């Protein structure tokens, strides 16, 4: 049985007029990364009712919170809006909160990316730097453009889940997986599983096709990547960057697992728990999946954790049958 990962649409029509085009441009890389790691993505339409979303989530084994063009409403962490902050996307925020509540109630694995990281942090009681350039005055460009793969260095804290992933991924698959047909701009994504299980949410995303029967790329491939070590036992790597906000204070039970070493901006957090996979990164590993062993390792570890969660639930159901 394939592991199902719930992922909300990045944005809604109320926030971006042509939200369908935006979602078709941004979703495929997330879907490609999940499929390549062995999972079946289940996109969550933002217009669905809470009841229908709950029904879909009942068949999902983990959640991925993607990036978004919106910012988190600063009122949620007790601040007035900075003039440089973008508006909030209320529909996306509502769905994120439903997914987070479900995942924390049931200990489902969570992967947050960019704005999804910020949503997780605020949901757990943390707060944000609303605009890095004006509030920090850093010389590091955290928004150099989508085409820049190595925007700035990343320093990964030792003895963290992220450090373990960084120390156990493969460097030799650095540019592409031959088995992976990576055509995300034209990928037509039909989700046969959704049509079978959720007839009320047949979600095709017209141009997205992701039937990769040849992909059997699973989590064991995260073996040995070894990013460069520096400053004691910390890891150094390079990541892309596409954000103007960042975590200021981590939320409840979140620990900092990576920073930008030049300015101290928090680049990753994770839950201080050995039995609940919650990892959130400020960069976009889905954009560098084919080029970066660390990116592949993050998705592989996330999917592996979701597989373990699913197996535990199946075992539990058998015991109580």
Q: State pLDDT tens for residues 181-190.
A: 333 333 334 3
pLDDT digit string (tens) for 114-132?
A: 999 999 999 999 999 999 8
Under the banding of pLDDT at 50, 70 and 90, the label for residue 204 is very low
233: left (phi over 0), alpha (psi -120 to 50) or beta: alpha
- Specify whether the CB–CB gap between 294 and 165 falls below 8 A: yes
Output the six-digit token pair for 154. Answer: 């990343």
For residue 108, how many other CB atoms are within 10 A of its CB? 25
Nearest to 15 by CA among 121, 117, 88, 74: 88
Q: Is the confidence at residue 202, as pLDDT, over 50?
A: no
- The model carries a pTM of 0.81
Asked whether 40 and 3 are in contact (CB, 8 A), the reply is yes
**Quick one: pLDDT at residue 214?**
33
Rounded distance between C-alpha atoms, residue 121 and residue 112, angstroms: 10
Q: Is the pLDDT of residue 278 over 90?
A: yes
CA 280 to chain centroid: 7
Q: What percent of the chain has pLDDT over 90?
A: 62
Give me 301's structure tokens: 């570890």
Distances in whole angstroms, Cα of residue 239 to Cα of each of 26, 214, 265, 268, 303: 18, 28, 13, 12, 21
Segment 7-26, tens digit of pLDDT: 999 999 888 888 889 899 99
Do 241 and 59 contact (CB within 8 A), yes or no?
A: no
pLDDT interval class at 243 (50, 70, 90)? confident
Structure tokens at 115: 């704005």
- DSSP for residue 188: B
User: Range with the lowest mean pLDDT among 93-107, 152-166, 172-186, 290-304?
Assistant: 172-186
Q: Mean pLDDT across the stretch 36-63?
A: 97
269, 119 contact by CB (below 8 A): no
Spatial contact of 277 and 301, defined as CB atoms under 8 Å apart: yes
The residue with greater pLDDT, 113 or 219, is 113
């Amino acid at each position: 049985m394939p592991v199902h990962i719930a992922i909300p649409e990045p944005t809604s029509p109320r926030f971006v007029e042509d939200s369908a085009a935006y979602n078709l441009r941004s979703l495929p890389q997330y879907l490609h990364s999940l499929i390549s790691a062995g999972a079946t993505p289940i996109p969550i339409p933002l217009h669905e009712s809470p009841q229908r979303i709950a029904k879909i989530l009942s068949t999902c084994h983990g959640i991925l919170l993607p990036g978004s063009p919106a910012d988190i409403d600063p009122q949620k962490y007790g601040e007035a809006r900075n003039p440089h902050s973008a508006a909030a996307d209320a529909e996306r925020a509502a769905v994120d909160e439903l997914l987070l509540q479900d995942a924390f109630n049931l200990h489902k694995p969570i992967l947050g990316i960019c704005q999804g990281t910020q949503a997780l942090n605020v949901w757990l009681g943390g707060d944000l730097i609303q605009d890095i350039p004006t509030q920090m005055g850093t010389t590091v460009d955290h928004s150099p453009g989508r085409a820049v793969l190595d925007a700035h260095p990343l320093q990964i804290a030792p003895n963290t889940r992220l450090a373990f992933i960084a120390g156990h991924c493969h460097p030799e698959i650095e540019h592409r997986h031959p088995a992976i047909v990576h055509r995300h701009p034209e990928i037509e994504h039909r989700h046969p599983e959704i049509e079978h299980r959720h007839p009320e949410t047949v979600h095709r995303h017209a141009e997205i096709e992701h039937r990769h029967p040849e992909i059997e790329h699973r989590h064991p491939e995260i073996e040995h990547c070894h990013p460069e070590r520096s400053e004691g036992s910390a890891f150094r790597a390079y990541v892309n960057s596409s954000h103007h906000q960042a975590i200021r204070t981590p939320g409840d039970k979140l620990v900092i697992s990576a920073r930008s070493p030049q300015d101290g901006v928090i680049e990753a957090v994770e839950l201080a728990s050995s039995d609940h996979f919650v990892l959130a990164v400020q960069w976009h590993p889905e954009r560098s999946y084919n080029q970066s062993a660390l990116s592949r390792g993050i998705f592989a570890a996330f999917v592996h954790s979701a597989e373990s969660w699913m197996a535990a639930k199946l075992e539990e159901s058998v015991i109580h049958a």
